[in-house]
Structure 1
Amino acid sequence: MISSDARPRLGLPIVLLMAAATGLCAGGNYFNQPLLDSISDHLNVSASAAAATVTIAQVAYALGLILLVPVGDMVDRRKLTVGLMLLAATGQAVSGFAPNFATLAVGIAVAGVFSVAAQVLIPFAASLAEPERSGQVVGTIMSGLLIGILLARSVAGVLSGLGGWSTVYKVAAVLMVVMAVALWRSLPSDSADRPKASYGATLASVGKLAATLPRLRTRSAMGGLAFAAVSTVFTTMAFLLSGEFGYSDTQIGLVGLLGVAGALMATVAGRLADRGLGQVATGGAIAILLVSWLPFASGATHIVWFLVAIVLADLALQGVHVSNQNVIYALVPEARSRVNSVYMTTYFVGAAVGSAVGSMVWKSYGWNGVCIAGLVFSVATALVWMHDRRLEKAELRIPESLVSVG
């Protein structure tokens, strides 16, 4: 951990570099989504087999969150980030030059596991930033992550049209190497004063933190529930837009780009957290999420209301997410990577649950069922937030024993 006296100033160019690297790492897991038809045709596999690459990327990323992100509390995060990015670049290169589906699956899995470099960079940035700027810095880097995910699908489609489906993987591999070198030259080492612990002890301490920190549990639950709410829509909106409004795949992809508005909320939420208004930011974001289901319901027959709802939902999700991260990073500063592992794993589990629920209710109850399911998840988010407020008022000093992983 870097002491406050030794902490280097984290200037805007370095923050933007970290944001770009985070977006590139996270976005790499979404390149395959608009390319499934082309992958199926060129590698002579079924559509369902091609679609399995989406699951492979998600499972690989989840494994990385559980098994690799906690290592950030054991070793120099500069070395860890750069190493993970170079390994992810290797996975992207394997995907780009894959002669068959099996090789592509391996490449996507390797890239997915090591793309969690993004989730090492975020707590690293929080530890480097001055305390009064931590929220702003985290918000900016989260904006980069969100924009990277949103642009990944569009860029993959454009590059596929120019040079084939594998082009985006080849370009990403080169960019990740360049980005890794730039990070190595720009970021400081943070290897000082780290506890000596084995890998097994570090992983075991993740469970200890989750069991002992009530606000880590509430904030993780809030993130997972909010992501579940929005995922009910993300999973089913293609059915609505293509069936009700006759939108093509390209048009549906452009609708998804409205989520860039969420990047604005990420920065705003971070600034509010720096001013001691983290609960206000969280409550406001949840209120927006609750309100968004009114235009979503009207959006079944009026596209303008659907577009308004998408913007509101993305703003809300990022507001909740960034507020949560600012809270959990302050719980045990020496364990930021481990608490981030708990939080992000819960966050993506929520997304998976929301996607599954959205698909099920769409089949049985249509768009109205999706809106009701999303509203239920949103109300649950609000209830957990109210409990978190009570915990904050009764919060006690974190026991020193939690910091140790031995």
Structure 2
Amino acid sequence: MSDVASTRRTRGRAADPGSRSPGRGLLPLMAVAAGLSVAGNYFAQPLLDVIARQVHLAPSLGGLVVTVAQVGYGAGLLLLVPLGDLLDRRRLAVLLTALTAAFLLVTATATNAAVLLAGTALTGLTSVAAQVIVPFAASLAEPERRGRAVGTVMTGLLLGILLARTASGLLAGAGGWRTVFFVNAGLMAVMAVALHRRLPSAPPETAGGERPGYPRLLGSSLALLAREPALRWRGAMGALAFGVFSVLWTALAFLMSGPPYHWSTSAIGLLGLVGAAGSLSASVTGRLGDRGLVHRVSGISAALLLVSWAVLAAGGSGGAWGLVALLAGMLVLDAASQGVHISNQNIVYALRPEIRNRLNSVYMTLYFIGGAAGSAGASALWGLAGWTGVCALGGAMSAALVAVWTLDRILAHR
């Protein structure tokens, strides 16, 4: 089956009865809101040492700040994102955005470790507003423009992840670590008001007017893995793609802070700008998906991920050419990982529009698990085999992704 034929069949299933073209400026607003939502989970990473000292948290436990943010976000994916199929998505997005602003204030004003960790965990929980906004954007767009809409909002989300560390260092340098969270809280409050004013009402689309209860809603989310083969395949691809992404960004600080580079923390933070440049390809990926090339784009992106690790491996040697190789590999890897992810979203969102939030919940949970596994693997291998071991892990995961994509295409043709 060709990409075009497959996509046309998917579009037929994907036609939302209530879909409409988003108003002027609405997609950029949703992109900014998504980016600011997820950024709150990454601001603390370059500031762990100073935060731990000021709230009397043992330095060896500073990593708990990152861990509880990840746990909170994972819980939100499982417990809150499916509510988009039960409640008005506009109200849910606004509520989660407003709550994120409130919990950021808790973090900003924390005077002890318990309050800091509680604020961080709750911020992670409600920051899944971004994962309500992305499928919301897909439902607002007409089927032939859905990829572009998803790509636009995902660009904002990815920029939020990649630029959070850079912005964190600059704001903390200007006014201390609390300034970072105060500023983000204020911006999230502004976003809540803007989304309340601009987003259209979006009641859930349920078959026959039936609304499942919350326990049944969660149970049906897990059952989707058994019922939707495309969700399983794309969930596996997404997990591997984000795992590869996490391998690079986890190990990069180790490489750049030691020999042969010896970069400062602030200089390492600027590498987020390189990643941001790669993430700008998200919109292009979405447009190609709208042209019926979604499967081809994901396959090429998977192959590019494998190629990128050969380039990145040369970056471990240091020197001018090593740095050039490192930066080039980063650009290719970031663009390719988003190519896989956004292609996956185009396919998953089109499966059953009336339960799009549950589909997104399952897909993003698998995606998140892959990222956590990649980070853990990179940390372990860095201690055992350094940059060479990290590149071997990234290459192996990329090869597995190519294999999964190939097997999916073979079975689809049969």
Same structural fold, with TM-score higher than 0.5 when normalized by the shorter chain:
yes
In the superposition, the TM-score normalised over structure 2's length comes to 0.92
Distance 2:235 2:193 in 1: 33
Return the offset for 1:37.
Answer: 1.7
Tell me what 1:398 maps to: none
Matches within 5 A, 1:3-402: 4=16, 6-191=18-203, 193-194=205-206, 195-243=210-258, 244-301=260-317, 302-393=322-413
Instruction: Say which SS state the counterpart of residue 134 (structure 1) adopts.
Output: helix
Distance 2:412 2:34 in 1: 30
Residues 279, 6 of structure 1: alpha-carbon distance in 2 compared, 3 angstrom cutoff: closer
Tell me what 2:11 maps to: none
Residues 295, 193 of structure 1: alpha-carbon distance in 2 compared, 3 angstrom cutoff: closer
Range that drifts further, 275-284 or 225-234: 225-234
Range that drifts further, 47-56 or 320-329: 47-56
- Residues 215 and 391 of structure 1 are in contact (CA less than 8 Å); yes or no, is this contact kept in structure 2? no
- Residues 26 and 149 of structure 1 are in contact (CA less than 8 Å); yes or no, is this contact kept in structure 2? yes
The one-letter code sitting in structure 1 at the alignment partner of 2:359 is V
Return the offset for 1:277.
Answer: 0.5
- Residues 262 and 317 of structure 1 are in contact (CA less than 8 Å); yes or no, is this contact kept in structure 2? no
Instruction: Say which SS state the counterpart of residue 150 (structure 1) adopts.
Output: helix
Distance 1:363 1:104 in 2: 30
Residues 376, 5 of structure 1: alpha-carbon distance in 2 compared, 3 angstrom cutoff: closer
Distance 1:392 1:67 in 2: 32
Return the offset for 1:73.
Answer: 0.7
Return the offset for 1:383.
Answer: 0.9
Return the offset for 1:170.
Answer: 1.2
Return the offset for 1:226.
Answer: 1.5
Distance 1:123 1:392 in 2: 25
Residues 6, 363 of structure 1: alpha-carbon distance in 2 compared, 3 angstrom cutoff: closer
Summarize deviations over 1:176-196 as a string: whole Å, max 9, x none. 111111111111111164331
Return the offset for 1:207.
Answer: 1.3
Tell me what 2:3 maps to: none
- Residues 214 and 391 of structure 1 are in contact (CA less than 8 Å); yes or no, is this contact kept in structure 2? no
The one-letter code sitting in structure 2 at the alignment partner of 1:59 is V
The one-letter code sitting in structure 1 at the alignment partner of 2:342 is V
Distance 2:360 2:340 in 1: 15
Range that drifts further, 248-257 or 66-75: 248-257
Return the offset for 1:164.
Answer: 1.3
Distance 1:385 1:11 in 2: 36
- Residues 16 and 139 of structure 2 are in contact (CA less than 8 Å); yes or no, is this contact kept in structure 1? no
- Residues 235 and 366 of structure 2 are in contact (CA less than 8 Å); yes or no, is this contact kept in structure 1? yes
Return the offset for 1:222.
Answer: 0.4
Distance 2:297 2:54 in 1: 48
Return the offset for 1:388.
Answer: 2.1
Aligned-residue CA RMSD (Å): 1.5
The one-letter code sitting in structure 2 at the alignment partner of 1:55 is T
Return the offset for 1:354.
Answer: 1.0
Distance 2:164 2:393 in 1: 28
Return the offset for 1:355.
Answer: 1.3
Distance 1:7 1:342 in 2: 23
Distance 1:24 1:240 in 2: 28
- Residues 129 and 137 of structure 1 are in contact (CA less than 8 Å); yes or no, is this contact kept in structure 2? yes
Residues 203, 363 of structure 1: alpha-carbon distance in 2 compared, 3 angstrom cutoff: same
- Residues 163 and 272 of structure 2 are in contact (CA less than 8 Å); yes or no, is this contact kept in structure 1? no
The one-letter code sitting in structure 2 at the alignment partner of 1:64 is G
Distance 2:24 2:236 in 1: 32
